[in-house]
Amino acid sequence: MFAANFSAFELQPLPDGASTILRMLAAQTPNWAEIALVAARDPALSLALLLADPLRAGELQDGLNAALRRRLERIGTDLLRAWLLGLGHVGNQPDETADAALLRAECALHLAIETEYPRPDEAYLAGLWFGLPRSAGWVSGRRPTLPALVADCGLPASLADALEFDGMDPACAGAMHPLLGLLAAARQLAGGNWQERITEVAELTGLESASVVALRTDVGYILSGHASYPALPGLPSAGTGAACPTLRLTDDPYRYAGMLGLLTAAFVDLDATTIRDRLAIACPLFGLHTPPVLLGSGEDGRLRPLLGAAAGSPDLLIGELRLRLDDETSCIALGARSEQPCSHFGDGGPPGRSVADWQVARWLGQPGFHVIPLGGAGDTSVALVATASAQALDSELRWRYAALLGAAARALRSHARQRDAIAEREAALHQRFRDHVRRIAHEASNPLTVLKTRIDMLAQERSGDSTLQDEMSLLNAELDRIDKLLRSAAELPAETAEMRTCRVPELLLDMRTLYGEPLFGSRQIQLELRAARDVPPAAIPASALKQVLLNLLRNASEALQPGQRLVVSVLPLVNVDGRNCLEIRFVDNGPGLPVERAQDPLSPRPSAKGAEHQGLGLSVVREILAQWGGTLLCRTQAGAGTSFQIFVPLEQSA
């Protein structure tokens, strides 16, 4: 149950290392750095992890331990436990002890560092993996080549050459890749008679003999503090020579139940993206090159992909088949209906009974595929495992696949149900809100109608007063705006929005007509507007800018005393950070901001104006301006007044 390209290799992790990792995973917060260190000392574990998630370019620059730690954390505690528990220490062990492999690896690492080889961790892996069986450990007829394994790890071909190159003539050292010489030298230093090989090692590496002796002594000292971890009681150590038991899950109900529970826990309560990522690294560990196609039935009785469907992927094409559960010709539908494993393998000719199955096999890139029912909690789900062999899957291997893929499928369907339930609740909540606002808008329309009617009557009674007519027109416009806001609050935003530009001088004149008297005139405060000619449009909607200006006007009217003055100026062209902007300047001769506000005037804080003031005005102003690329500056001096400068991008520079 190793990484896909490694699954033909019967070598298993050292029992000591696997049991040690299982003990370390029992901690509430696993020490992933220590777990990675254990994995880095185990030839089989380190190879399997790198095959499951190949190295990216330059990743080993952070160190082998860091690379292994990332993979272990990606696998997660429960999935890693399930994988190690499922191994059961079955298969061949290395022909040498773990100490011998580690000694050779450390010698290669330190020789690489001493000779300034640019990628010392490659030398370490070459030393660690050299002891892997190159013949006896492989299932007959299924041996992948070492170059293929190394390439699948994301490592260079020079490492594969070092692993396969057994002989070494010191006279040829200069004509070969330095990694070959480093491994050959490490093998000499790791031997029992290493003192007799010092001269040979010195010639291979170019180091002084004294340096070689010191290096070998240091490595021995380092390893003396890194003795192999003791095995759990009842598990023979790899170094004892005892044969490892052949334990199938079906022979051990405790491991069987434990592995199933751990696989379920590995995917529970995860979102779809995390489930897919975890399954992507889990499948190679369980002997699958890539995640198989997972199909689940919907309410309409059709099978659809559960893992998502990227453009051009087999999942997408299979989803477009819209295969029904009651299809009598497809073995996929048969396996889903009957919850019994089956398979489809053609003879390379035209389609047989099921064109759909023939197409699926072609899309998966293999002569055929096995259908593995996943079942569980009333969900109909199957996995399609593509393979070149028509031989039926071993029952235990099929159970392992079903346990892993079934746990992921159940988690995906559970997440989909939760997502749909949340969407339904949100839709219901939105509908309740819209209904509530509609009722408010309906109730508010009555007093608004009364006000508009009264305004119209006043306008008719004093039809000769042009000033009053203008004021009544503005009041009507504001009442219409309130009515529009109430009605639009109950609806989703329309595709068409108001104009994204406005003319600032005209907007200020309208606002002075509407708010000048109640905010300033009635309090004997002077309000003065100044605007240059031909001011270009500002790149901000009129409603947004109106909210900004109204906040500042209201703040000024509340702060100023009778006889004081506010001057609002519009300047047509100011360059701010390379952008042409329009400037709106508010300057008053009032008391200035309070000391506590002057330190950070634009942040929300409790207001000293009274209960009906929340202290949010200036922060809202800043947020609105930021949304449209604007800026707000504030200057204040106690007893001398306050000024606000608003910079809004012009239409042509927006």
Q: How far apart are CA 38 and CA 48, in angstroms?
A: 14
Q: How far apart are CA 583 and CA 576, in angstroms?
A: 10
Tallying the residues shown for the chain, one arrives at: 654
How confident is the model at residue 346, as a pLDDT?
Answer: 82
- Among the listed residues 507, 526, 481, the one whose alpha carbon sits nearest the alpha carbon of residue 648: 507
How confident is the model at residue 255, as a pLDDT?
Answer: 81
* For residue 435, pLDDT beyond 50: yes
Range 533-543 average pLDDT: 90
Confidence of residue 134 (pLDDT cuts 50, 70, 90): low
Written as six digits, the tokens of 331 are: 């073995």
For the ranges 234-238, 500-504, 525-529, the lowest mean pLDDT is seen at 234-238
How confident is the model at residue 546, as a pLDDT?
Answer: 92
Range 251-269 average pLDDT: 87
Range 606-613 average pLDDT: 46
Contacts 24+ apart (CB under 8 A), 465-469: none
Q: Are the beta carbons of 242 and 236 closer than 8 angstroms?
A: yes
Written as six digits, the tokens of 410 are: 């159940």
* For residue 202, pLDDT beyond 60: yes
- Give the global pTM: 0.65
User: Mean pLDDT in the chain?
Assistant: 83
CATH topology of domain 504-653: Heat Shock Protein 90 (3.30.565)
* For residue 250, pLDDT beyond 60: yes
Encode pLDDT of 615-645 as tens digits: 456 888 889 999 999 999 999 998 899 999 9
How confident is the model at residue 497, as a pLDDT?
Answer: 61
The more confidently predicted of residues 479 and 141 is 479
Q: Are the beta carbons of 109 and 127 closer than 8 angstroms?
A: yes
**Domains 4-247 and 504-653 fall in the same CATH topology:** no
How confident is the model at residue 66, as a pLDDT?
Answer: 96
Encode pLDDT of 380-404 as tens digits: 899 999 988 888 888 888 888 999 9
In the chain, where the domains are located: 4-247, 292-393, 431-488, 504-653
How confident is the model at residue 229, as a pLDDT?
Answer: 42
Range 34-49 average pLDDT: 92
* For residue 168, pLDDT beyond 80: no
Range 160-170 average pLDDT: 73
How confident is the model at residue 384, as a pLDDT?
Answer: 94
How confident is the model at residue 212, as a pLDDT?
Answer: 92
Q: Are the beta carbons of 619 and 632 closer than 8 angstroms?
A: no
Would you say domain 4-247 falls under CATH 1.20.1050.10?
no
Q: Are the beta carbons of 572 and 532 closer than 8 angstroms?
A: yes
The more confidently predicted of residues 128 and 352 is 128
Q: How far apart are CA 134 and CA 61, in angstroms?
A: 29
* For residue 477, pLDDT beyond 90: no
Encode pLDDT of 270-297 as tens digits: 999 999 999 999 998 888 877 799 999 9
Encode pLDDT of 101-116 as tens digits: 899 999 999 999 999 9
Amino acid, single-letter form, for residue 249: L
